[in-house]
Chain A
Amino acid sequence: METIMIILIGVLVTVATYFILSKNVIRIILGTALLSHAVHMLILTIGEVKKGEAPILGTDGSTYTDALPQALILTAIVIGFAVTAFVLVLAFRTYKTNGTDNLEEMRGDDYE
């Protein structure tokens, strides 16, 4: 199970990297969104999957899945949302101001 998950993570990282290396702002933002999916999945996979019940005390079964990665990921998901929103708005504000969504055209002059 873990192996196949990690291979999926690898695919997601590859696509995300390819997107991040492009020049188009939206592609880059999509790339970061994909990358955060991959990372969430990675944290969860590394933290021993399917080794116990959901981390809610009182459910039957004596072992629980590791709750710490879950708490981490929960935080990361919400923060990731805020960051995505921020970057998206930044992108469209930049487009309004500079009239381009091409990052290569947004490079400042040498002395910035």
Chain B
Amino acid sequence: MRINDLLLKTVVRIVVFIILTLAIYLFFAGHYSPGGGFIGGLVIASAFVLLYLTYDLETVQKGIPVDFKVVAAIGVLLAVGTGFGSVLFGVDFLTQTAHHFNLPLVGDKELGTVMIFELGVALTVVGVVMTIITSIAEGDED
């Protein structure tokens, strides 16, 4: 399934970056406004799906040489790991903590373990969606 539509390809190339930026915004904004791990992950995944739809599998895989199964596994590891992390500090499983930090450029920001947990969720969602889509897409070699 090769589509030689230059216009589409060019537009998609730009749009994907816009989507990815949006995704990262959504991911970090999640604690205060709509967004979060699930949505961030899904938006990233949808950007990739768009790439796959426009270009073909091989091209995208050359561009993004990531094994999405590993991404999903790392995500689960992070999500479960934060749970055990809190156990190490003597509190209940999956207790989240947060603190305010004064970071350069962004100013006063609250950072917490929930961010790591959400990152795990996001990575899992990206990994899972992409694994499923690419597996099915590759299935036709059979």
- Is A1 engaged at the interface, CB distance under 8 Å to the other chain? no
Task: Please give, as numbers and ranges, the residues of chain A lying within 8 Å of B32 by CB-CB distance.
Answer: 56, 58
A89–B135 contact, CB under 8 A? yes
A78–B132 contact, CB under 8 A? no
How many interface contacts (CB-CB < 8 Å) are there between A and B? 21
Contact of A82 among B34, B128, B139 (CB under 8 A): B128
B33–A56 contact, CB under 8 A? yes
- Which of under 10, 10 to 19, 20 to 34, or 35 or more describes the interface residues of A? 10 to 19
Chain B at the A interface: SS class: helix
Those of A12-64 within 8 Å (CB) of chain B:
54, 56, 58
B132–A92 contact, CB under 8 A? no
Task: Give the residue name and chain of the A residue nearest to B129 (CB).
Answer: A81
Given A56-B32, A56-B33, A96-B142, the answer on whether A78 and B38 have CB atoms closer than 8 Å is yes
Using a CB–CB cutoff of 8 Å, the interface residues on chain A facing chain B are 54, 56, 58, 74, 78, 81-82, 85, 88-89, 92, 96
Q: Which are the 9 A-B pairs with shortest beta-carbon distances?
A: A85-B132, A78-B38, A56-B33, A74-B38, A89-B136, A82-B128, A78-B125, A56-B34, A96-B142
